[in-house]
Structure 1
Amino acid sequence: MENQPKNHTRVLYAEDNKRTAELLQKILELHGYSVEIAPDGITAWNAYRRERPNILLLDLELPEIDGVELTCRIREKDHATHIIIYTSHGEREHELDALDAGADEFFSKDKDAELLAHHLNNLRTRITKGIKRPHVYRLSPITSYNSASRVLTIGEKEIQLATIDARFLQLLCAKNNEIASRDYLIQGIWDKASLHKEPELKKYACRVRKALEPDPTLQIKSQDGGYILLHLER
């Protein structure tokens, strides 16, 4: 574990469960983060307006102003702050609403908090280098994906993805090494038009796999009734 402060990267953590918030705060502070806890959406909104954080860690089910509305408010004028939805399972519709509102990714509360800290450490490196493009996902050392422009970059090659291919990849990226269920993907791509879409989903998975082929460390696997994007270290 990293025990020395790095650069006082500011994290605003909106969470109404006091115990959960305080435990994570202690872990992140050991990694050198300055963490402010907001117990409800209004407090988080006021804290954000008072001093913009580098990273916003956001629960969805917040009192006063929920996570989706808070994301909408922030994205109206701010496209630089990285917004992570720190969520439990079973909130598929809310997750998709937050993603469409401008959230960048999801991180499950079921994971070890040290994994979240490690992920934030990678974000901090980007922030300190002045790379403030929250919609760009770093998939591997040579591959990135810009979900706003739908451009997949592998080495020096840029690939413009078709609309549904791009949405499929964005949904996998946002899940952050979690399995994206078929229902989640179908709803995220076609909204309520979900009947008989599983064969279509398989087709788009194959197309995105094809686009990722130049980087052999990246794989899309069918697993436990869904799909997951994996980076295999080599």
Structure 2
Amino acid sequence: MGNKMRILYAEDYELEAELTKIILEENEFIVDIAVTGEEAWNAYNRQKPDILLLDLNMPLKDGIEVTRLIRKKDPLTRIIIYTSHGEPEKEIAALDAGADEFIPKNRTPDVLIAHLKALRQKMITCLNVPHVYELSPITTFNAVARTVTIQGEATLLSSSEARLLQLLCVKSNQIANMDYLVKGIWKDATIGKRKRIKEYVCRIRQPLKKDPSIKIEYIGNDYEEGYMLITAPSPS
């Protein structure tokens, strides 16, 4: 693989796909484009990419179905949902299907490039493990084992706390609104759950106090309410 990472980008808006391809290739990525979910699935089977960058809304097969199909045969390839359609139900469904994280299209291309460069570095150093999130140079969260590890010291979270932290991780440095968090943990059982979210956040903050570079901030205004996981950048 060398330092060049191959990305399969599934996006049905061809102009947007081509513009993104140009930007990424200027930054030393190899990019293949699929304009339908079916084409993405076939392209994956022809040549496995290092990363899948998937839109959610695509003809023939949507991003959730493609994610589910790939995860049945491949637990390791990184799957990033890159979309402007961020309804909580779809994001949760993509996460449950096996997606690793979300990057919204309304952020600048520099955000996507920086994220992919950091991921490339992890792959080179063999740190690219799905569902293991590097929150800072000294802190990781393993969503499967439900453990936060800071400088080698591990803390086990409850299943609900771990699910909440995973939901925050996949939207790292973005606002995870309450609707998304509640549905991600309890699906349709939403009555009285906002208070529980607050309680879980308080518990998760306790072990994270050992790493002051990581914060979980409450965000509340007239338009949105939720939490943001603020993580420290990896060293370049």
Same fold (TM over 0.5): yes
The within-5 A match list for 1:1-234 is 7-224=3-220, 225-231=225-231
Report if the CA contact (8 A) 1:135-1:148 is conserved: yes
Q: How many angstroms does 1:77 deviate by?
A: 1.3
Q: Could you state the TM-score of these two structures normalised by the residue count of structure 1?
A: 0.94
Query: In the TM superposition, what is the alpha-carbon distance from 1:131 to its structure 2 partner?
Result: 2.8
Shift of 1:112: 0.5
- Once the 2 structures are TM-superposed, how far is the Cα of residue 89 of structure 1 from its aligned partner? 4.7
Q: Distance in 1 between matches of 2:85 and 2:229?
A: 18
Q: In 2, Cα distance between the equivalents of 1:178 and 1:130? A: 26
Corresponding pairs, count: 228
Letter in 2 for 1:138: E
Preserved CA contact (<8 Å) 1:16 1:62 = yes
Runs of 4+ in 1 over 4 A off after TM superposition: none
| Superposition deviation, residue 19 in structure 1 | 1.6
Q: Residues 137 and 232 of structure 2 are in contact (CA less than 8 Å); yes or no, is this contact kept in structure 1?
A: no
Residues 190-213 of structure 1: CA distance to partner in whole angstroms, max 9, x if unpaired? 110001111111100111111211
Task: State the distance in 2 between where 1:219 and 1:136 align.
Answer: 18
Task: Give the distance between the partners of 1:232 and 1:119, measured in 2 at CA.
Answer: 13
Q: Hey, what's the Cα distance between the residues in 1 that align with 2:205 and 2:150? A: 13
Question: Could you tell me how far apart the structure 1 residues matched to 2:227 and 2:127 are?
Answer: 29
Determine if contact 1:107/1:176 at 8 Å carries over to the other structure: no
Q: What is the TM-score normalised by the length of structure 2?
A: 0.94
| Counterpart AA for 2:151 | G
Measure the CA separation in 1 of the matches of 2:86 and 2:148: 30
Give distance in 2, aligned partners of 1:57 and 1:130. Answer: 20
